[in-house]
Chain A
Amino acid sequence: MTAESATLRMMRSPLPGLVALALLWGLAAPAMKVNPRYLPPLGLVLADARSVWPDLLAGLWRTGEETLLGFLFAGVIGVGCGVGFAYARFLERGVFPLFVVLQNVPVIAFGAIVVIWFGNGLAAKAVIAFYLALFPIAVNTLRGLQEADPERAALLRSFGASPAQIFFKLKLPSALPSLMVGLKVGVSLALAGAIVGEWFGDTVGLGVMLLQALYVEEIARVWALILVCGGLGAALYGALALAERRLVWWRRA
C-alpha cells in the first residue's frame, strides 16, 4: 500500500467527517453562544452520558439485541419472500399487494395487538423491528433477482443447468448488490422499530431512556442518547457495508 492510497482511504472513511463535526460542536457552538437548551455543549452531553453509563450500556445491549433479532428474522424471511415472489407469479400477484398494504400500516396502529400477542418483552420489540425491516429486504431481493441477466441464464440452460443451479450460480450473486441495499435499509429500520417498540412499554433500552429524557426534558440526556443510537445504527450499517464490500466487490471494479 502506498502512502497516497492510505490518504485516499482516510478521506473515504467517515472518521474525518466525525472529527470535524465534533470540533464544530465542541468549539464553534459555545463560541457562537448557541442556547444550550437547543444544543447543549458536547462536554456536557458526554459528562451526562458518563454519569449513567451502566444504564446506557444496558440499554445499548438490550436495544441492540432487539434490533439484531428482528433484523435476522427479517433477513431470513425477507429473502425467502423475495425468492418466493420471484419464482411464483401467483405469490407476487396474491401476496405482494398484501405486503404493500401492511407496509403502509403505521406501527402505532397495531402496537396494542403486538403487545397482546407477544407480551412486553424482547419478543414484542423484535417483532416490530422485524416488521419494519421485512419489506425493504423482500422487495430488494425480488428486484435483485429480477435483475439477473436473462442471456446468462440462457447460457446456463444451454449447459443443461437446473433451475436450482441457475439460482445459486447466477441469480443469487446477481441479486447480491440489491439485496445488500435492502439489508442496509432494513437494519436501520429495525433499529427504529426496536426503539419505537420500546415506546410500547419497557424498563430497559435506549428507547425507554429516550422517552424518559424527553418526558422530563433532560436535553443533555436526549443528545447523549441520540449519539448512542446513532453509534449503534452506524455500527450495524457499517458492518453490513463491510460485508457488502467483501461480497460484491466485483460491482465496484
Chain B
Amino acid sequence: MTFSSTRRWVLAAAALAIGGIATAAAEAADAVSIRLKWVPQAQFAGVYVAKAKGFYSAAGLDAKINPGGPNINVETLVAAGADTFGVASGTEGTLYAREKGLPLVCIGMSQQMTPFAFVTYDNSGVKSVKDFKGKKVAVWFTGPQYTLYSMLAHEGVSQKDVEIIAEPFSMQPFIDKQYDVATVTLYNELNTLKEQGINNIRLFLPDDSGVTTQQDSLVTSEKMIHEKPQEVQAFLDATLKGWKYAFQHKAEAVDIVMAAGSGLNRKHQELMLDEIEKLMTAKLGGSQGLGAIDMKSIADVQATLLKFKALKTPVDLNAAFDASFWKKVPDADKKL
C-alpha cells in the first residue's frame, strides 16, 4: 500500500496549488491521525481529553483528530491507511468491513451495551417487546434493524407480526405520534425527547432481551498492527486513559469538547457524556475495564447477521477482533 505516500504527495501539490493555504501533513515520525465517525461531541470526549491533556504526546504520538460526518466511512479510511486509527461504527461495521476483505482490525470497544433503544408512550399499550405485535415500529435501516430483528427473535415475536417502517433522522414523527415505537440512541435522541419535555415514555433496551451489540469500535489497520504494534498500544492506552479522566472530571471534559467543536450546546454535551458513561461502564466495562471486547456478543451478532443474510459468509472473528492490545493496557488506565 502506498496510499499514505500518495496522499502526502497530493497534499503537497494541493498546498502549492492553493498558495500554501493547505498545510502538508507533518513529517514527524509518530504522526498519527484518529478518524471519528461524527463531528466533535461528547461521544468522543475520551479522545479529545487524551489529546488536550497530553496523553497522546506523552505516549509518543503526535495525534491529529479528524472529525467525521454522514458522508464518512471510518472503516474504509482506516483500512486504506488514510487515517491511522478510528472510532468506527461498531460490531456490525467491523464484520462488514472484514467480509469485504478490508484489512481492518478492532482493538477495543467503547460502548459495552447496545446504545440503541426502543421508545413508546406510556399510554400506547405497549408494555413489553412482545406487545410490538401488531404495532407500528420505526427503525433506522442503517444497522439497528438487525438489533430489532434479533430482539424480536429472542422474545419469540415473529417479524411478520410487526409493522416495521423506516424511521427518518428526526424524532418529529414520533412526537407527532405517527407510529407507536421509535428507535433512539440513549446518548442523543432520548435526550432530544427529554428536552422537548416528553417524559411519559417507556424504554426497551435490547440488552434486557439478551441482545448486545457493542458500538464505537476502536480500529486500526492490519499493517499498523504488524509494523508498529507499539504505536497501536500507545494509542489504546492513551485513549482509555482519556476516557477514565473524562469520567472523573466531567466538567473539564465537556469544556474540552466544547472548545474542539463549534456552536455546541453545553447542556446537550453534559447529558451526552452522562449517557456515554453509562454505556461505557456497563457490563464488561465495569467488571474488566473500559474498552473491553465482548467476544461472545460479537459471535451472537455475527450469527444474527448471517441468519438475516446481512452477512453472506462468516468472518474470522479472531482476526477481526484483536484483544491482545487491550489486555496489555494497564489497569490504572482502564479501570475506574
Same assembly: yes
Q: How far is the CA of A217 from the CA of B189 in the complex (A)?
A: 8
Given A69-B18, A116-B7, are A209 and B263 neighbors across the interface (CB < 8 Å)?
A: yes
Chain B residues near A208 (CB-CB < 8 A): 39, 67, 69, 261-262
Chain A residues near B39 (CB-CB < 8 A): 201-203, 208, 211-212, 215
Contact A122 B22 (CB under 8 A): yes
B38 at the interface (CB under 8 A from A): yes
B71 at the interface (CB under 8 A from A): yes
Closest to A38 in B: B172
Q: How far is the CA of A146 from the CA of B73 in the complex (A)?
A: 43
Contact B3 A116 (CB under 8 A): yes
Contact A112 B262 (CB under 8 A): no
* Bitwise interface map of A from 215 to 229 toward B, beta carbon under 8 Å scored 1, else 0: 111100100000000
Q: Which of A10-18, A54-62, A80-88, A153-161 has 4 or more CB atoms under 8 Å from chain B? A: A54-62
A115 at the interface (CB under 8 A from B): yes
Closest to A109 in B: B71
Chain A residues near B188 (CB-CB < 8 A): 215-216
Contact A126 B18 (CB under 8 A): yes
Given A202-B39, A209-B262, A218-B265, are A119 and B25 neighbors across the interface (CB < 8 Å)?
A: yes
Contact B70 A119 (CB under 8 A): no
B260 at the interface (CB under 8 A from A): yes
> Which of B22, B71, B170, B192 lies at the interface centre, i.e. has the most chain A CB atoms within 10 A of its CB?
B71
Contact B263 A52 (CB under 8 A): yes
Q: How far is the CA of A200 from the CA of B35 in the complex (A)?
A: 11
Residue in A118, A196, A200, A216 whose CB lies within 8 Å of B265: A216
**Closest-CB distance, B63 to chain A (whole angstroms):** 13
Contact B170 A123 (CB under 8 A): no
Chain B residues near A126 (CB-CB < 8 A): 18
Contact B71 A123 (CB under 8 A): no
**Closest-CB distance, B88 to chain A (whole angstroms):** 13
Chain A residues near B40 (CB-CB < 8 A): 203
Q: What does DSSP make chain A's interface, helix, strand, loop or mixed?
A: helix
- Contact count A vs B, C-beta below 8 Å: 119
Contact B77 A123 (CB under 8 A): no
Contact B69 A198 (CB under 8 A): yes
A120 at the interface (CB under 8 A from B): yes
B76 at the interface (CB under 8 A from A): yes
**Closest-CB distance, B204 to chain A (whole angstroms):** 22
Chain A residues near B35 (CB-CB < 8 A): 201
Contact B82 A116 (CB under 8 A): yes
Chain B residues near A198 (CB-CB < 8 A): 69
Q: Which of A99-120 contact B (CB under 8 A)?
A: 108, 111-112, 115-120
Residue in A69, A112, A117, A212 whose CB lies within 8 Å of B72: A112
Contact B171 A55 (CB under 8 A): no
Given A203-B262, A205-B262, A218-B265, are A119 and B72 neighbors across the interface (CB < 8 Å)?
A: no
Chain A residues near B264 (CB-CB < 8 A): 212
Closest to B38 in A: A215
Chain B residues near A127 (CB-CB < 8 A): 14
Chain A residues near B58 (CB-CB < 8 A): none
Contact A123 B18 (CB under 8 A): yes
A204 at the interface (CB under 8 A from B): yes
* Bitwise interface map of B from 1 to 26 toward A, beta carbon under 8 Å scored 1, else 0: 00100110011001100100111010
Q: How far is the CA of A217 from the CA of B80 in the complex (A)?
A: 33
B233 at the interface (CB under 8 A from A): no
Contact A111 B72 (CB under 8 A): yes
Q: How far is the CA of A57 from the CA of B10 in the complex (A)?
A: 31
B135 at the interface (CB under 8 A from A): no
Contact B15 A212 (CB under 8 A): no
Given A112-B72, A115-B72, A118-B11, are A202 and B67 neighbors across the interface (CB < 8 Å)?
A: yes
Contact B171 A217 (CB under 8 A): yes
Closest to B260 in A: A203
* Bitwise interface map of A from 24 to 63 toward B, beta carbon under 8 Å scored 1, else 0: 0000000000000100000000000000100110110000
A237 at the interface (CB under 8 A from B): no
Closest to B19 in A: A69
A121 at the interface (CB under 8 A from B): yes
Closest to A212 in B: B39
Q: Apart from A116-B80, A203-B260, list 11 A-B contacts with CB within 8 A.
A: A112-B80, A115-B77, A118-B14, A119-B7, A122-B18, A123-B18, A201-B67, A201-B69, A208-B261, A212-B261, A213-B263
Q: Which residues of A contact B (CB under 8 A)?
A: 37, 52, 55-56, 58-59, 69, 108, 111-112, 115-123, 126-127, 196, 198-205, 208-209, 211-218, 221
